[in-house]
Amino acid sequence: MKIQPLADRVLINPVPAEEVTVAGIIIPDSAKEKPLKGQVLAVGGGTKDEVMVVKEGDTVLYGKYAGTEIDVKGEKLLMPDSLFIYGEVLQDKNVKETEYAEYMDMTASNYGHALREALAAGNFNAADLLSWHHPVDPKHLVTWVESHDTYCNFHESAGLTDDQIRAGWVFLTARDGGRPLFYSRPAGSTRENYWGNNRIGARGNDEFFHPEVVAVNKFRHAMTGEPEAITVSDNGAIAEVSRGTRGVVLVNFSNQPQEVDMATPLSTGKYTDGVHGTEFTVEDGAIHGAMAPNATYILYSEK
């Protein structure tokens, strides 16, 4: 019987668990680890977003509880779930980033650091946010504003407010490149107790429910395939991420109110942000309006 996986799934023949340890001790069945390595028997055709890089005959590693086990003529094979896999390989001068990237998507931790610098300064131009600070194609980068390390462990990002973190998230998510990952700070977290009431399996605070976060997630999906351009106000306080001519996202990096008067690809007319109900006017290729401190505004038609 021939089994053909669909989309981005593969069929794997697990390598049998070790029978004997290096020291020659026989391992009973109850103590054997579930196999984590196997040989690829068949490969799906991929999806529009995912080109298959593995091929029949490759030896691969997989998660301990990944996928569905199937029985084919008495032989137990594995069909891993369709999951996004990336490596949390933090950047450093000696990290072999391009080599790791041959096997998985990578984390753009240096970009997160640059973004936090700009947010702390209240100025887009305080750091280079046009470069991804990584040798790997941005389509294969996981981006974040902060992580559990920068917040809970080292407190490097703990000085940023929820409003600032949210502004950074909206900027990241509005962009064409990268795969944004939202770090939810522990519920009940304070500057005296960074871990808050954190428990294994418990979710963090409610920030991922915030209307700005929800709105930019929808914007990202709606703008799939649209080219990106970034425009910055003369004082560096405002960044506009435009996606073709269909929509723009305005981000106030500063903790002061701002008046918008900058170039935009949007057509002439009036646009109302769905989260705050703020109206912006576009005339003669320029957008005008008022922005609250560290606030974001998402302007596009969902059609």
CATH no. for residue 96?
A: 3.20.20.80
pLDDT at residue 222 is higher than 90: yes
* Domain count across the chain: 3
Q: Tell me, yes or no, whether 203 and 149 share the same domain.
A: yes
> Which pLDDT belongs to residue 31?
44
Whole-angstrom Cα distance, residue 303 to residue 290?
26
Percent of the chain with pLDDT over 90: 57
Q: Tell me, yes or no, whether 92 and 217 share the same domain.
A: yes
Ranges of H-type helices in the chain: 97-100, 109-121, 148, 162-174, 211-222
87 vs 45, residue with greater confidence:
45
> Which pLDDT belongs to residue 199?
75
Q: Tell me, yes or no, whether 72 and 103 share the same domain.
A: no
CATH number at residue 276: 2.60.40.1180
Q: Tell me, yes or no, whether 199 and 238 share the same domain.
A: no
59 vs 234, residue with greater confidence:
234
Q: How confident is the model at residue 36 (pLDDT cuts 50, 70, 90)?
A: low
* Domain limits for position 43: 10-79
Amino acid letter at 156? Answer: E
Q: Tell me, yes or no, whether 74 and 117 share the same domain.
A: no
Q: Tell me, yes or no, whether 253 and 194 share the same domain.
A: no
Cα separation values, 214 from 23, 98, 243, 298, Å? 55, 33, 18, 11
Q: Tell me, yes or no, whether 176 and 210 share the same domain.
A: yes
Whole-angstrom Cα distance, residue 119 to residue 110?
14
Q: Residues 161-179: pLDDT tens digits?
A: 999 999 999 999 999 999 9
Domain annotation covers residue 3: no
Mean pLDDT of 112-141: 96
Dihedral sign for Cα atoms in the order 126, 131, 132, 135:
negative
Mean pLDDT of 101-123: 93
